[in-house]
Amino acid sequence: MRILLIHAEKFSYRVRERALSGVPEPSPESESYSDKNVLVVFTSVEKWDIPDREYLENIVRDVLEVAKKVKAECIVLYPYAHLSPDLAKPERARLVFAQLEDILRRECAKSNLRFHAAPFGYYKEFELKCYGHPLSELSRTYKPHKVRVGEPETPEPTRNFYVIVTPDGRIVSPQEYTFRESERDLEILVRKEVFKEELPGGQEPRYLYYCKKFGFEWEPLSDYGHMRFGPEATIMYELVERYSWLVAKRLGIPILKVRGTNMFRLSAEPVYQHARLFGERMYVIETDDDKLVLRYAACFQQFSMVRDWVISYRDLPLAVMELADSYRYEQPGETALCFRLRKFTMPDTHIFTRDLEEAKTLCFKVHDIIYDEIRKIGLDYVALWNVTRDFYESNLDYLREYARREGKPILVNVIEGRRYYWVLNVEFNIVDELERPREIATMQIDVGNAERFGITYRAPDGSSRHPVIIHTALIGSIERYIYALLQRAALDEKEGKIPRLPTWICPIQVRLVPVSREHVEHCDEIADIIEARGIRVDVDDRDEPVGKRIREAEKLWIPYIVVIGREEISSKVLSVRIRGERQLRKMSIDNLLALIERELEGYPRIELTLPRRVSMRPMYRPLV
């Protein structure tokens, strides 16, 4: 696509006559137009342009950025075939232009900009007066999935269709499907993915308030999308890192943990080919003699290592995992704390299998773990199953089995016309408090990268073969898993329940509140006993009223709050406030430990990385 951006002091046009047959009559308001302080977007749709939403949204973001810089009050989208010798056929051009118009109209409304689209397929006369400042005349060229800086790629156009596969095996088009009340999440996903509806939003999600509570924040000294983690957030982050390894071990196959760099040469052919197929926004760094791409997943590092290993068919299936710091150049308006980031940590696992059939079988195990983990925190997934046309036609019963396992219909996006490195790519979404699908976990079957990176194994007949690779993040990125936990709490609060986190991930699991200074030493003795069991405990020894200290502990969602006074010391019976319960429980220290131990079973434990005494933490000390 080529566009010419003119910042016009005045702009007007009038329709003269039809240029293409089959186009609708222009509406009365579009037959003629006149306005001031306008950014006119003269647009030529080219033969490689596709009605791909992400591609067109990138163009719209650029247009809005220019409008912001020149302080235009209105944007006019104007079809103009004279910018390119490689025009798309009229039918395709009209489709792409219509989707571009829809996206631009919606985004202008969000930005409080007037918007107007000139009719497609008509000869028009126009007049404009250009401002003449340095940004008043700009040209842009776009092609789908631009990877290298200055080197656009032009993949084969994509055509796709959607179907809903039910547990009883029926195949129904989304347009004809009748959603049950229990299928609300699926309906929301279909509205977004199939019908491209703009789903509810606008209000600030409640989870952002929780992020602030635990110290998940944007880093103001960095660019958009980079986070920082306070002391409590760091504990939670490290716990999820460790938990991701425990979850990966549930696969029940040999698994190796590795580490590596985050920069790779784009001039390395496997890196370039993978990046070209990935088609996401990437950080590209110019060096003295090369360009480096910051990795957007762990693929490069793991594939580079495994390529050097001597692997027999007896070793397969084999899994490799890395906690990979990953980078994606998200647009500023798209970033969301803990969810959509420019830098995040992905517990990326790749499973190397002998062939497609073994990969398909093992994916059942991956799928079951993914669902089991999200259901542990009281949520459920609604998944988008992206598959190639060939895979769909050959594996329809395989997809039916997933619908049967989930016990609910699944949405399948069937893609043809472009060669991906995968044949199946599943996006596991939760539906958040504002009823928006949010992708957390992933699963792919990769049939291309083993050959691309030169990864082989020795087959039983002595020949060298390329494995089929399963890509998965079983719990999603570290940040998105935490996001899911916070969303569960937000949904609880929305339903009138007391929001809470699972005890294993609470930064402080037990808080001891001494009634007076004379009880602090005894609290330390109890804390020693609790800490020896791998439970994070602290002592709020501040000179504040007991009621205030209890309220502050409750605001931090500490699951167990124990007030220690003369009575508790003499009776050795503790009065325990348990989050979510309205009455105090009386129990011994052994009973308390047994209760917490049951909640922590199967989860990682790390030590408290804060001073035990709250008075020694600068963030909680009042200024004197």
Averaged pLDDT for residues 60-77: 93
Asked if 53 and 106 sit in the same domain, the reply is: yes
Average pLDDT over residues 306-317: 97
Question: pLDDT tens-digit profile of 93-118?
Answer: 887 888 899 899 999 999 999 999 99
Domain presence at residue 151: no
- Contacts of range 565-568, beta carbons closer than 8 Å, 24 or more positions apart: 565/514, 565/515, 565/516, 565/519, 566/515, 566/519
Within-domain flag for 302: no
More confident position, 292 or 600? 600
Residues 460 and 350 in one domain: yes
pLDDT at residue 52 in the model? 76
The rounded mean pLDDT for the chain is: 91
| Mean pLDDT computed over 17-45 | 90
CATH of the domain at 44: 3.50.80.10
Percent above pLDDT 90 for the chain: 76
Reduced to 3 states, what is the DSSP secondary structure of residue 487?
helix
Per-residue DSSP letters for 422-479?
A: EEEEEEEEEE-TTS-EEEEEEEEEESSHHHHHT--EE-TTS-EEPPEEEEEETT--HH
Q: Treating both helix axes as pointing N-terminal to C-terminal, what angle do 356-376 and 396-406 enclose, rounded to 10 degrees? A: 20
Distance, CA of 382 to CA of 410 (rounded, Å)? 7
Residue 25 is predicted with a pLDDT of 87
**pLDDT score for 526:** 97
Check whether 296 has a pLDDT greater than 60. Answer: yes
- Domains in the chain, number: 3
Give yes or no: residues 361 and 425 share one domain.
yes
CATH code, domain with 510? 3.40.50.800
Residue burial 404-432, b: 16+ Cβ < 10 Å; e: rest:
eebebbbbbbbbeebebbbbbbbbbbbbb
Q: Are the beta carbons of 92 and 55 closer than 8 angstroms?
A: no
Kindly tell me if the per-residue pLDDT of 190 is higher than 80.
yes
- Residue 218 pairs in a beta bridge with 227
User: Is the link from the previous residue into 317 a cis peptide, with omega within 30 of 0?
Assistant: yes
Verify that 333 and 482 share a domain, yes or no: yes
Q: Do 462 and 581 sit in the same domain of this protein?
A: no
Q: Is residue 222 part of a domain?
A: yes
Tens digit of pLDDT for each residue in 216-268?
999 999 988 999 999 999 999 999 999 999 999 999 999 999 999 999 988 88
Q: Which domain holds residue 605?
A: 503-620
Residues 430 and 440: beta-carbon distance below 8 Å: yes
Does residue 269 register a pLDDT over 90? Answer: no
In the structure, what pLDDT confidence band is assigned to residue 201 with cuts at 50, 70 and 90? low
Please list the residues that pair with 585 across neighbouring strands. Answer: 576
Q: What is the pLDDT of residue 417?
A: 58
Give the CATH number, domain containing residue 205. 3.30.930.10
Pairing of strands 284-286, 291-294: antiparallel
How many whole angstroms from its chain centre is CA 297? 13
Least confident of 2-6, 87-91, 120-124, 275-279: 275-279
User: What is the tens place of the pLDDT at every residue in 23-36?
Assistant: 788 888 899 999 99
> What pLDDT, on a 0 to 100 scale, did the predictor assign at position 456?
98
Say if residue 219 is in the same domain as residue 359: yes
Structure token digits, residue 497: 């329940």
- Ranges of beta strands (E only) in 475-531 are 510-514
- With H, G, I as helix, E, B as strand and everything else as coil, classify residue 574: strand
The confidence score (pLDDT) of residue 155 equals 43
The pLDDT value given to residue 421 = 86
Note whether 599 and 510 are same-domain residues.
yes
Q: Are residues 519 and 602 in the same domain?
A: yes
**148 falls within a domain:** no
